Amino acid sequence: MTVTGYAAPLTDMRFVLEHVVDIGALAALAGFEHADPATVIGILEEAGRFFAEQLAPLNRVGDVQHSRRNDDGSVTTPEGFAKAYQRYVDAGWPAVPFPPEYGGGGFPWVVAVAMQEVMTAANMAFSLCPLLTQGAIDMLLHYGSEEQRETYLSKMVTGEWTGTMNLTEPQAGSDVGALTTRAVPADDGSWRVTGQKIFITYGEHDLADNIVHLVLARVPDAPPGTKGISCFIVPKVLVAADGSLGPRNAVECVSIEEKMGINASPTCVMAYDGATGFLVGEANQGMRYMFKMMNTARLSVGLEGLSLGERAYQQAVAYAAERRQGQAPGASAGSAIVDHPDVRRMLLTMRAQIEALRCVAYLTAECMDLAARHPDASVREARQELADLLTPISKGWGTDLGVELTSIAVQVHGGMGYVEETGVAQHYRDIRIAPIYEGTNGIQAIDLVGRKLGLRDGAAVTELLDAIAATAAEAIGAGDDLNVIGIALDGAQHALRQATTWLRQASADGRHDDVLAGATPYLRMAGVVAGGWMLARSALAASAIQGEATFTDEFLAQKTVTARFYATQLLPQAAGLLPAVTAGVEDLAAARF
Q: What is the pLDDT of residues 421-453, one digit of tens each?
A: 999 999 999 999 999 999 999 999 999 999 999
Q: What is the pLDDT of residue 498?
A: 98
Q: Percent of the chain beyond pLDDT 90?
A: 92
pLDDT for 77 beyond 90: yes
pLDDT for 129 beyond 80: yes
What are the tens digits of pLDDT across the range 319-372? Answer: 999 999 888 887 777 899 999 999 999 999 999 999 999 999 999 999 999 999
State the average pLDDT over residues 290-313: 91
Distance between CA atoms of residues 446 and 122, nearest Å: 32
3-state SS of 541-582 is HHHHCCCCCCCCHHHHHHHHHHHHHHHHHHCCHHHHHHHHHC
Secondary structure letter of residue 218 according to DSSP: B
Distances (CA, A) of 10 to 49, 327, 554: 10, 34, 16
pLDDT-derived band at 290 (thresholds 50, 70, 90) equals: confident
Q: What is the pLDDT of residue 171?
A: 83
State the average pLDDT over residues 487-510: 98
pLDDT-derived band at 177 (thresholds 50, 70, 90) equals: confident
Q: What is the pLDDT of residue 176?
A: 74
What is the Cβ-side half-sphere exposure of residue 72, based on CA atoms within 13 angstroms?
A: 4
Phi-psi category of 74—alpha, beta or left, where left has phi over 0 and alpha has psi -120 to 50? Answer: beta
From the CA atom positions of the chain, what is the Rg in Å?
Answer: 24
Q: What is the DSSP string of 511-551?
A: -HHHHHHTHHHHHHHHHHHHHHHHHHHHHHHHHHTTT-SSS
Q: What is the pLDDT of residue 512?
A: 96
Sign of CA dihedral 151, 153, 156, 158: negative
Q: What's the one-letter identity of residue 102? A: Y
Q: What is the pLDDT of residue 1?
A: 46
pLDDT for 97 beyond 70: yes
Question: Residue 267: CB partners within 8 Å, gap ≥ 6?
Answer: 199, 200, 201, 203, 256, 257, 259
Distance between CA atoms of residues 571 and 565, nearest Å: 9
What are the tens digits of pLDDT across the range 553-584? Answer: 999 999 999 999 999 999 999 999 999 999 99
Distance between CA atoms of residues 123 and 133, nearest Å: 16
Q: What's the one-letter identity of residue 499? A: A
Q: What is the DSSP string of 19-76?
A: IIS-HHHHTTSTT-TT--HHHHHHHHHHHHHHHHHHTTTHHHHHHHH--EE-TTS-EE
Q: What is the pLDDT of residue 479?
A: 83
Other CB atoms within 10 A of residue 189 CB: 8
Decide: helix, strand or coil at residue 501. helix
Distance between CA atoms of residues 147 and 19, nearest Å: 42
Bridge partners (DSSP) listed for residue 195: 272
pLDDT-derived band at 237 (thresholds 50, 70, 90) equals: very high
Q: What's the one-letter identity of residue 43? A: I
Distance between CA atoms of residues 333 and 573, nearest Å: 37
Of 81, 174, 15, 1, the C-alpha closest to 534 is: 15
Catalytic residues, by residue number, are: 438
Q: Are 267 and 209 in contact (CB under 8 A)?
A: no
Question: Residue 444: CB partners within 8 Å, gap ≥ 6?
Answer: 298, 392, 393, 395, 396, 523
Other CB atoms within 10 A of residue 588 CB: 12
Distance between CA atoms of residues 217 and 179, nearest Å: 7
Distance between CA atoms of residues 290 and 207, nearest Å: 24
Question: Residue 565: CB partners within 8 Å, gap ≥ 6?
Answer: 348, 349, 352
Decide: helix, strand or coil at residue 459. helix
What are the tens digits of pLDDT across the range 267-281? Answer: 999 999 999 999 999
pLDDT-derived band at 3 (thresholds 50, 70, 90) equals: low
pLDDT for 178 beyond 90: no
Report the Cα 116 to chain-centroid distance in Å.
Answer: 9
Other CB atoms within 10 A of residue 221 CB: 8
Q: What is the pLDDT of residue 2?
A: 47
Of 166, 138, 164, the C-alpha closest to 153 is: 138
Indicate the length of the chain as a whole number. Answer: 593
3-state SS of 299-311 is HHHHHHHHHHHHH
Of 141, 273, 256, the C-alpha closest to 201 is: 256
Of 96, 128, 543, 542, the C-alpha closest to 355 is: 542
pLDDT for 107 beyond 60: yes
Where does 387-531 show beta strands of DSSP type E? Answer: none
Sign of CA dihedral 412, 414, 416, 417: positive
Q: What is the pLDDT of residue 37?
A: 96
Of 282, 322, 294, 241, the C-alpha closest to 144 is: 282
Q: Are 227 and 97 in contact (CB under 8 A)?
A: no
Q: pTM for the full model?
A: 0.96
Among 35-44, 112-121, 167-176, 262-271, the range scoring the smallest mean pLDDT is 167-176
Mean pLDDT, the chain, whole residue set: 95
Q: What is the pLDDT of residue 15?
A: 98
Of 70, 74, 248, 269, the C-alpha closest to 181 is: 269
At what angle are helices 553-565 and 480-508 packed, to 10 degrees? 40
At what angle are helices 377-412 and 441-450 packed, to 10 degrees? 150
Question: Residue 579: CB partners within 8 Å, gap ≥ 6?
Answer: none
Query: Per-domain residue ranges for the chain?
Result: 440-593
